[in-house]
A and B are shown apart, each in its own frame.
Chain A
Amino acid sequence: MDVLLSGQLLIAALVTGSIYALVAVGLNLIYGTMRMLNVAHGDLAMIGAYVAFWMFTLFGLSPFLSLFLAMALSALLAAIFYQFIFKRVMASSKLLDRAEANSLLVFFGIAVILQNGTAALFTTNPRGFQYLDQVLQIGNAAITANRLATLILSLILVVAVVAFFRFTLVGLALRALIQDRTASQIVGINIERIFLYSFMLGFALSGLAGGLVSMYEQIWPFMGFPYTIAAFVIIILGGLGNLFGSLAAGMILGVLETFGIAITGPNFRSILIYGVLILVLLLRPQGLFGGKRVVAR
């Protein structure tokens, strides 16, 4: 019981939660604007993690700098996938009716390629590096410096993302597009450009989260899948298309998972997460926040 109250777990929960928030908000952004489910979303975190790992191992580059590289690479991948694959998936009105289903298959293919490509290049051995791993004492809670840095950075990023959606014109356009595609065209939003932006931003946030994770966790080519699953649960929990909801739901899932595992044991992680998913689907399919809306087409 002491562990539960020590503050130790709360910090761990917030670290997990803020990472989840970053990964999930990108997934929800892509779903919201394009109605496409990116089942490769967590794999971008894996890519970001490898970028940070190699930059540190090969060049001694601080992960805080390689985060930018991880974001840039993820965004570049997003731009390439969008231009060469998804634009075509959505091109004709005939394909558009099946865009959702087709995109799911394409993303699935991308996930397989990213995972196995990474495995082929770098083996499936778990890897890690030591950076800022001294233990800090905060009150009666002990935390490694890299986790603390992750927590602070990702909270700042979450706030930055909120501010971006709230206060910028592109943020406004993104939120408009989530609500109504035709209405967005009517007010003169170049929706293809906004699709591209949401792809790039969503991927970049996932890559960034992966870079942060690599500082304190072992990485391997298949580390992305649990993040994908968590992100799916979160966007259901926070409401499909509800960006602010997924930020909050990310924190909530982080807390539920961390405390849940402390009480039950690490083997229960999946059960806990799927349990949350099933509960939400049964009790509040529209998500915890906001009204009755389940995003329409």
Chain B
Amino acid sequence: MTDALLELKQVSAGYGEVKVLQNVSLTVRRGSITALIGANGAGKTTLMRVVSGLIPVSAGTLGFDGADITREPSSVRVERGISLVPEGRLIFPEFSVEENLKIGAYIKRVRGRQGELSKQMLGLFPRLEERRSQAGQTLSGGEQQMLAIARALMAEPRLLLLDEPSLGLAPQVVAQVFEKIQEVRAKGVTVFIVEQDVRSTLSFADYAYVIENGSLQMEGSAESVRENPKVKESYLGL
């Protein structure tokens, strides 16, 4: 068993004719919080979508826990333990909070424990407990974000992919979300996160990659990336 939970080798991907990712190779280590940093349109969401199987690669391979998952559909990847909290949350607008959680435990691996997991999530996010029978679309942005995270956790992932979890949230809520992410990691879940709030993210991440125009430009421990002058200038506004 290697240290790598997720391994991308020379991955290229895009949307039809539009090429976005070019030769991306990266590793997410078991138990780490790994951050992906980049400007708007750099290809961060595309990378997350590639890892969760929403779009195919045009070249390269994806490995998860030693297995080649390059050609596997998203349903199989979720079953293996890869769950995405997507940009824009994408909760089910007409489902209640409870139904949103329930569908989060759709995969076979956890199906039988759906009730128990729902309870855990409502404990982890008391805010959702208060709103349990409310339709997803009537939740506030922050509540929706919590729900999207809870829904992903319902599948008991080994790798949690987070795409801009702080987007559109008030500062206190952002702090809460970041706290939850660290709690989740403490339970042994590996986290791969894309975040606009680079400063905070690099304060709790272990490792970071910087992506520009679809290619990786830099990588290193979160500390070293944070101290890098180019990162300071471009992403930390120093």
Question: Among A62-70, A152-160, A187-195, A225-233, which stretch is in contact with chain B?
Answer: A187-195
Contact of B74 among A93, A169, A188 (CB under 8 A): A188
- Chain A contact patch, size range: 20 to 34
A sample of 11 inter-chain contacts (CB < 8 A) reads A172-B102, A180-B93, A185-B53, A186-B83, A186-B86, A186-B90, A186-B152, A187-B103, A187-B104, A188-B155, A190-B75
- Complex CA gap A112/B207 in Å reads 61
Which residues from A are CB-within-8-Å of B84?
186
Given known pairs A94-B16, A176-B103, the reply for A185 and B92 (CB within 8 Å) is no
User: What are the 4 closest A-B residue pairs judged by CB atoms, nearest first?
Assistant: A188-B78, A188-B107, A190-B75, A183-B90
A179 beta carbon closer than 8 Å to chain B: yes
Render A283-297 as a binary contact track against B, CB cut-off 8 A, 1 for contact.
000000000010000
Query: Could you tell me the distance in whole angstroms from the C-beta of A237 to the nearest C-beta in chain B?
Result: 19
- B73:A93 contact, CB within 8 angstroms: no
A175 beta carbon closer than 8 Å to chain B: yes
Which residues from B are CB-within-8-Å of A183?
86, 90-92
Which residues from B are CB-within-8-Å of A186?
52, 54, 74, 78, 83-84, 86, 90, 152
Which residues from A are CB-within-8-Å of B52?
185-186
- Complex CA gap A172/B104 in Å reads 11
Given known pairs A186-B74, A190-B73, the reply for A179 and B95 (CB within 8 Å) is yes
- Complex CA gap A137/B53 in Å reads 61
B151 beta carbon closer than 8 Å to chain A: yes
Given known pairs A175-B95, A185-B53, the reply for A169 and B111 (CB within 8 Å) is yes
A182 beta carbon closer than 8 Å to chain B: yes
Render A162-175 as a binary contact track against B, CB cut-off 8 A, 1 for contact.
00000001001101
Given known pairs A93-B15, A186-B86, A188-B107, the reply for A176 and B78 (CB within 8 Å) is no
B235 beta carbon closer than 8 Å to chain A: no
B129 beta carbon closer than 8 Å to chain A: no
